[in-house]
Each structure stands twice: as C-alpha cells, then as structure tokens.
Structure 1
C-alpha cells in the first residue's frame, strides 16, 4: 500500500514513517523542511501544503495520513491552529479526484472539551464540544467535520480520526504540553485536573494500527488510566502556582495574556481545571498497546530546571512569593486600567 504522510519530519511523523515502512507500506513523507534524513523505505518530498499543488502528490496514493498543522506556541497569540482549516480544505479538495480511499487525521482529545459534567473517562461516543474560547480545539473539531464530510461523500472512503492525549517526547515537549504547563501557574479553586500523557512513540504506533486496520471514525489514543490530581500536583510541585476563585482566576489569566507574561491563552484554563481524560478501549481492541505509562511519558517530556533542585519547603516559599507578586501585579494592573478608563472619560 502506498501511504502519504504529511508533517513527516515532526515528532510523530518521523516516528510513524519508518514504522509504516517496516510494516510493508511504501511511504512518502511530505513536509516543509527536509533536514531530517529519511529512514530506509521512506521518500521525503519538500512541499508547503499551503501553496503546493497537492493533486500531484496524491494521484498514486492509497492512504493519506495527515499529521501536519500542529500547535505552535509561538503562534498561539495570533490564533493557535489558525492554518488548520485552510490546509485541510486544500488537501481534501486534492483528494476529491484521487484514488485515495483512506484518510487518517490527527486530531486531539481536546475536542471533547473540559467540562464539569464530563464522564471519566470519555469514550468515542461522548459528545464533541470543545471549549469555545480555546481556538486550537475548535479548529481541530472543524478539521474532523471536514474530513468526515469528505468520507461521507463516497461509500468507498474511510476516515479515521486519532484523538490523542497530551503528546510528549524526549527531545522536547509538544506545543500543547508547553501551553498547559504555562497555564498551571494559575489554579482555580474549582479543582485540579487529572493528567494523561502520551509518548510520541505510542502515537506513532497508533498511526500504523489505523493504516493497517482502517477503522471508521474516532480513535482515542492514551495510556491506560490517568494520573490522579494529587499526583499531578506533586509532579508539578516545582511550579509556583496561585490558587484563586474561578472568576478571579479567569481575570488573572486574561491579564497575564494581555500583558504578554505567558504563552498560554486564557481559553485553555478550563483544560487545567475540569476532566477530559479518555478511554483507550477501542484502539486496544485493534491490537494497539501503549509501551509507556502516563508517568513515564510525563517524565520523558518534562525538562528539568533549576527549580527541580529545590526541596519541598523552598518550593513552597517560592510559590508563596510568586503568588504574592502575581496578586500585586494584578491589583496594580487593575488600578492602572481603572485610572486609564476614568482619565479617558470626558469631563462634562
């Protein structure tokens, strides 16, 4: 089978391509960059999906694995995932008259949203309702809808949507992991999140299973179980955190964002409060097995820093100091905003 993989030099793509080749597939990787040496059995094509004529890339392909359009924290201030709809539309248009009958799309478990009434864990039958203020999750939902519309237009087409938990790797944490890590400086009194972390190796194995088995519809991809909230708090103990009432936590998150003090958009805050862990029963039934636990994946993607060398008491003191500084900054910002509004009002 001839398989085309977009985003082939990313953390997941460069792991999935050689695995697909080892499974007996003829693999063509597509990416904007070609700095990664291709693995045996993998051909790399340098192309920008936003401008390249994609029809020539898919005219002799059986399956397309769409891994491109990942989350880039440096673009989060503009619109995280802003390129997803445009690239998807171009790709799907190219697939219309192609021999491709199977499309594998990389989505995210964030499409379920983080809500107080979410079941634990979420299965593929759960309603898709992303938190509306986090555009990355909304964009991924749009991607899924576009892909399913393409699939429904022809009975021979199969669309598989991978919905992974937060994905990490040794070389660096993923963009989503970075944003969530930045967001935990603010804690709402409404609760602490459970954690689910997926190693990029396991996600690459899920890609192979999806290509080989051709399952229709969504597939949650996550290790068995999740990390309970208390253990998550312990694992992230080195991060100074300020716990606030829900309304105030949102206001502080928005203020930090507006002042450029964080790369985490305020819309991601619910994902650090409410549950959105997923079940892996369906993909396990297809023969997939995770090689890494949640804890192992978390450690693999966690970059130790100077704060990790401090003992618990020192971290607590630092956290209290940071909380006081942050609260002082918030109050100062609020006073400045009130004075600005008052000063801007005409004196009549």
Structure 2
C-alpha cells in the first residue's frame, strides 16, 4: 500500500491540532502575556544513518523549530544538512560530539533476530550507558530513549488498554526484551545520578514500516498460529507515527513515559478476516514446548517467550501524547495492510524464513509442520555434507 496523503488520513482536522508553537493542553498561560517563544534546540540523534533514525533526522532537518541536527552513526547517512559524526555510540568520545546539543534521541539499538544475543545485549546496554553518561557530561538536558510497549509484558490479566504508568511486567524471555528492560532501568536511574538530566521514554506498539521482528514475521506464516484458550489483540504503530512522536518528545512537547500506536486494537478474528490468512490452533503445551525445543537446537531465531505476544493482550493507551496534541495518522487496519504488502512473497515458520522449496511444502496439506520438519532435515543433511 502506498502511503496515503497524511492530511487526508488525519483523524482530526487541523483546527483541532495545536500548531507547533502552541502549548499542550493543561499548560497555563498568563491572561495578558503569551508564553515566551522557546529558542530552537540543537538535537542529536544516534543510529542516524538508517531506519527510524534516518527518518527522524530527515524530519528534524526540515523543521523550522530545530536549529541544528547532529547525526551520529558508524557510517554517514544521506541527510546533507545534518552535522555528521561517524563513531560507535559506545565510544566515550561521543561526549565531545554531544557538546552544544540540547536534546539527544538515542536510537542506536540492535534488535536484529539474527544477531548473537550476547553481542546484542553488550551493544545495546553499553551503548545506552555511554550515551546517558556522555549527555550529562556534555550539558544535554534531555535524552529520549525508544524501547517498546513489549516492556509491559503480554499477560492474560492485562487491562485493555494498559495505562502508560502500568507496571513493567515483561520478562527477558522474548527477543530483545531483556535489553529493553535494562535500557528502561538505566533511563530511570540517570536523572538521579545526573541531576538536571531529563529522560523521556517512547514505547511503540508492534512497529511496521521496513522492520523485521518476530511479530512482523508472524504474518509471513502460511497459517496464523493461535494458542488454544488465548485471546490475542493487535495494536500496530507505523514508523511514520513513531517518528512524529519522537519529534514531539525531542521538541519537549511531551515527556515522561509515552506509549505510541494506532487508536484502539484489532481482535484475532479481525486480523484473520482482514489478512485472509487462516489460523492453525495448537494446545499451549504443544506450541510452547515445540518453540522452546526448536530455538534450543538453533532451528529458529525466536525463543518461546515471543509466543506470549501473540497470545495475550498488551494494548496500550496513548494518552500522554494525546494530551500534548499528537494523533496517529495511520489506523490499525491501514498498518496491517501495509505489513501484508511488505511480507508478500516471504515464507516463515516458527520465526524461521524458508526457501522456495520449503515454502511450497508449507502451502500444502501438511502445512507448517511438514515445512518445519523439512527444514530440519535440510539442516541435518547440510551438516553431514560439511562433515559437522
């Protein structure tokens, strides 16, 4: 699906949205004196050369409200008007590159399914520690961290929706969630260790738009796995909406713990109807046991903990951003349609991408089970040929 005109898709007309210079609802102003115009900030972005970081840099560079964009990554990106610094975010020299910045948006995270988990954690946690410490040393007054609504946990007794100040009840059993929980912990500690440093955390729902996660791969399967007795709910967040929410946080129009996503949610039955993909229902013990064994022997990148996010609700309220005047431009239905277009032609079983032969098998009568067994046999044959 091509991106529709944002103005045509906006759920509220322009007169109901605060202009960039307007104060958020609830902020008092003098009757006789308007709020003084804030000076344009210098905003630094890590992870700036690709993905969400590149999109945010481009957006901030075009904004009249931003004085300068400082872009930091291990390679130079495409935005010519940004001031680029090429270095690893774990390098303490980043403190000097942040000097003069008012706000840092930290997006240099590795959540790739194929990355070695220990290396991923070392990069994510050490990088966040370094950025927070360097920001404080450089006199930055605000750091914006981006984690995920997954930190709330997917549990059968979750409220629908969860409030943004709900307890973080996730465990480290799902891909990357342990890293995100540690990043959240570092974010909470930083203002106590560095008085004067403000930390805002943005938590997107299922992120769609050039992303590859265990949750987007769920829709690459020949059947949608449903665990018997579970009640899945789906709330999406398009990358464009995440970027606009990060801009709000960077421009200090919203702060604190901010969930971001589409309005409302979709039930599993609605997802199946909209996608046209039928379900494959399995007992909980079978689904979880198989997922754990397949991950343990290295046949799938997704641990069993990922299944919880397709079983139990973790829908979030976006009231913090709403109070600041932000609204999503995408609906859940539109994001799902975009996701289905992105994954068309890909075939995944239990989080593992299949080749064409395996995919053809998956479409047959035996479905996902045969495909997975075939993939396992292929791996064993390849190992025997290599003498492993």
8 Å contact kept, 2:235–2:265: yes
- Partner of 1:119: helix, strand, or coil? coil
Deviation (angstroms), 1:324: 5.1
Unpaired stretches in structure 2, ≥5 consecutive residues: 1-40, 348-359, 378-388
Deviation (angstroms), 1:93: 2.3
> Counterpart of 1:136?
176
Q: Deviations over 1:267-325 (max 9, x none)?
A: 211011000011112101112111111121222233253589xxxxxx9x947521552
> Counterpart of 1:345?
none
Pairs aligned (count): 321
Query: 2:72 matched to 1:30?
Result: yes
The 1:72/1:281 distance shift into structure 2, 3 A limit, reads same
Cα distance in 2 for partners of 1:78, 1:55 equals: 26
Query: 2:315 matched to 1:254?
Result: no
- Partner of 2:259: helix, strand, or coil? strand
> Counterpart of 1:122?
162
The 1:52/1:19 distance shift into structure 2, 3 A limit, reads same
> Counterpart of 2:107?
67
Query: 2:211 matched to 1:173?
Result: yes
> Counterpart of 1:322?
367
The 1:77/1:160 distance shift into structure 2, 3 A limit, reads closer
TM-score by length of 2: 0.74
- Map 1:328-339 → 2, pairs under 5 A: none
Q: Deviations over 1:178-220 (max 9, x none)?
A: 4544688643112242111111111111011112225442000
> Counterpart of 1:340?
none
> Counterpart of 2:245?
206
Unpaired stretches in structure 1, ≥5 consecutive residues: 309-314, 333-348
- Map 1:171-250 → 2, pairs under 5 A: 172-181=210-219, 186-213=225-252, 215-238=254-277, 242-250=280-288
> Counterpart of 2:186?
146
- Map 1:39-54 → 2, pairs under 5 A: 39-40=80-81, 42-51=82-91, 53-54=93-94
Deviation (angstroms), 1:327: 8.8
Cα distance in 2 for partners of 1:17, 1:60 equals: 17
Deviation (angstroms), 1:46: 1.7
Deviation (angstroms), 1:12: 1.2
8 Å contact kept, 1:77–1:263: no
- Partner of 1:57: helix, strand, or coil? helix
TM-score by length of 1: 0.82
> Counterpart of 2:36?
none
- Partner of 1:68: helix, strand, or coil? coil
Deviation (angstroms), 1:107: 1.0
Q: Deviations over 1:13-32 (max 9, x none)?
A: 12211222314211111111
Farther-moved stretch of structure 1 (111-120 vs 14-23): 14-23
8 Å contact kept, 2:224–2:277: no
Query: 2:310 matched to 1:272?
Result: yes
Cα distance in 2 for partners of 1:213, 1:299 equals: 32
Cα distance in 1 for partners of 2:230, 2:88 equals: 42
